[in-house]
Structure 1
Amino acid sequence: MKRFANCTNHPIILVTAALLALSGCSGLAGPAPQEKTAPPATAPEQTKQKSVKPEESKPADQQPAPSAKTAPPAEAKPDEAKQTEAQPPKKPPATAAADTEAMLADIEVVAEPASMAVLVNKQRKLPENYTPTDLVFPNVPYLLPKKSEKRKLRKEAAAALEALFAAAKADGVSLAGVSAYRSHTYQKALFNHYVQKDGVEKARTYSAVPGTSEHETGLAIDVSGIDGKCAATSCFADTKEAKWLAEHAQEYGFIIRYPEGKEAITGYMYEPWHLRYVGTEIAKEIKAQGITLEEYLGVVPASASE
């Protein structure tokens, strides 16, 4: 009986063990689906979505993105500075004119503007309404259109210029006029343009104040060689034309108005091309003494003696 009991118990034990094994396997398999479908599985996805949103809002919160988006404005600033340097702010025309008038108020007006020996410089000006009444066109070659007003000279000076040009040509030196008379209106408009652009002080370094230009007297002319080379430039001093003028101009009543080494007195750099008619008597004396018109008339600027 014992053997039978033992034998009959084996299948029961095996079946029980199999059931336990199956129940154990199903117990292990159960949690797996829960892991796949459980809410924790979607939590990482939500985390991912949240991590994407901050990246989209990066430009508002983080430094690198704004600097990239605001780069064009940053580059525009140097451009603005560059434009300011290339094109400095201009004064309104009315302001430029007012500055010029204020400066002119301090300059002495000459008493005899029609005199052949009139002294016009940075300290002495012509009356604003002065216009020579005897302007004519000299019969000499010019580097200007035939009808240009800047060809004109006063009648006496024009005749002397014709004689000077003829004498130079006889010596093998061909001259040409570059610029003679300039009206007060023209000089004023020109100077105001420079003041509007650069201001009064800077404009005075390269342009004559209205009324203080010798060209307004009708007695001054810039000359050059007939070919126009070195016209109104420093290289003219080395030309045969300049050397002839320096030696003979006074014979026809002209002087080199702004001689070398006299800049402190005349207020202008050496201009071997700038001739001024004063008449033969005065011209010869100035040449003989090696002086300027200011020195001849005894009207030397105080600044020149300092």
Structure 2
Amino acid sequence: MTRPGTRPPRSPFAPEVLPDGRRRFSHEAVVARRLLLAGLLAAGVGGGALAARLTGEDPGAVPAGGAPAAAGAAGEVAGEVAPAAPQAVVASPATPAQVQGPSRTEAASPWVVVNKQHPLDPRDYAPALAVVAGKEVAAVIAPDLRALLEDARRDGVGLSVTSGYRSFQRQTAVHDDAVVRDGLETAESVSARPGYSEHQTGLAVDFGGRTAPGCLLEDCFGQTPESDWLRAHAGRHGFLLRYPEGATAVTGYDAEPWHWRWVGTDLVQRLTEARVATLEEFFGISGGPVYA
């Protein structure tokens, strides 16, 4: 019990409150919090809830962008928070996760979600193929892809198809080349492992354009007239910009303005109405930069 007129002793786990209202943990507080959390985790006692209490955060809260909050007690060093290790992201669905429609797991489905958490089954899946603009694609997308290219031509837009279907073997070579050229971390931000690639479904198409040949498979493609036309018109042919800007934490890949995925006009309309940009968010399916 504290005597009247005296201030209760400050907990060794408590932060200092700065004049501007921000909290700062002393070195002693950080050490004490780490030791307490480590002991309880070793005993199997409520580590997640305790970590949330120690960081002063709601254990169920999800920060902007959809990534789960990291348990910060183990990463704080004298008032700073160490970067959290990459982890799988469970996207918050904007619509109920159980949306009626085609399968999200069958490799041949137009709604299949393929990312670093969800590989193709089987890994060496190959679709029925057709040739459009000199490239192999899944036969199911051929009519819409031909119509899209014809509409672009009528509008004076010089679209080309630079990549369509890639076999398991071809994706292996593409991924290995990227690793040799850029290193594993950089390569895997832009290139999928074999068995985890949308190109292997035959449903994904990489577009190019004649106005800026130097922007082929480069970020600057997003500033070309061809990219503008795709953003305005590709949806009515069933194509979705699969890796939009700012969604890397959800999709697992850097923005690729050239990579479009056929999902059909019905699903494009549903995503538009829900104001959701990615399949992971719409279906509430896990994604992110970590491979399962």
**Which residue in the other structure is 1:249 paired with?**
234
TM-score, normalization: structure 2? 0.58
Contact 2:246 2:255 in 1 (8 A): yes
**TM superposition shift of 1:268:** 1.2
**TM superposition shift of 1:154:** 1.0
Greater RCO (CA < 8 Å, at least 6 residues apart): 2
**TM superposition shift of 1:200:** 4.9
Between the two proteins, the alignment pairs up a number of residues equal to: 185
Q: Does 1:280 align with 2:265?
A: yes
Secondary structure of the residue aligned to 2:191 is coil
Q: Does 1:125 align with 2:115?
A: no
**Which residue in the other structure is 1:301 paired with?**
287
Q: Distance in 1 between matches of 2:178 and 2:260?
A: 25
Which residue type is aligned with residue 207 of structure 1? S
In structure 2, runs of 5+ residues without a counterpart are: 1-103
Q: How does 1:35-46 map to 2 (within 5 A)?
A: none
Which residue type is aligned with residue 124 of structure 2? N
TM-score, normalization: structure 1? 0.55
Q: Distance in 1 between matches of 2:217 and 2:246?
A: 18
**Which residue in the other structure is 2:29 paired with?**
none
Q: Distance in 2 between matches of 1:211 and 1:298?
A: 22
Question: Which residue among 210, 217, 220 is the counterpart of 2:204?
Answer: 220
Question: Which residue among 288, 291, 297 is the counterpart of 2:277?
Answer: 291
Q: Distance in 2 between matches of 1:229 and 1:293?
A: 30
Render the CA deviation track for 1:256-290: whole Å, top value 9, x for unaligned.
00111212111112211111000110012223414
Which residue type is aligned with residue 285 of structure 2? V
**Which residue in the other structure is 1:112 paired with?**
106
Which residue type is aligned with residue 232 of structure 2? E
Q: Distance in 1 between matches of 2:178 and 2:228?
A: 33
**TM superposition shift of 1:115:** 0.4
Q: Does 1:176 align with 2:160?
A: yes
Contact 2:123 2:195 in 1 (8 A): yes
The alignment-based identity, stated in percent, is: 43
Question: Which residue among 141, 146, 160 is the counterpart of 1:157?
Answer: 141
**TM superposition shift of 1:303:** 7.7
Question: Which residue among 164, 173, 190 is the counterpart of 1:189?
Answer: 173
Secondary structure of the residue aligned to 1:205 is coil
Contact 1:175 1:224 in 2 (8 A): yes
Contact 1:250 1:287 in 2 (8 A): no
**Residues 199 and 256 of structure 1, relative CA distance in 2, 3 Å threshold:** closer
Q: Distance in 2 between matches of 1:164 and 1:245?
A: 9
Q: Does 1:166 align with 2:161?
A: no
Secondary structure of the residue aligned to 2:207 is strand
**Which residue in the other structure is 2:218 paired with?**
233
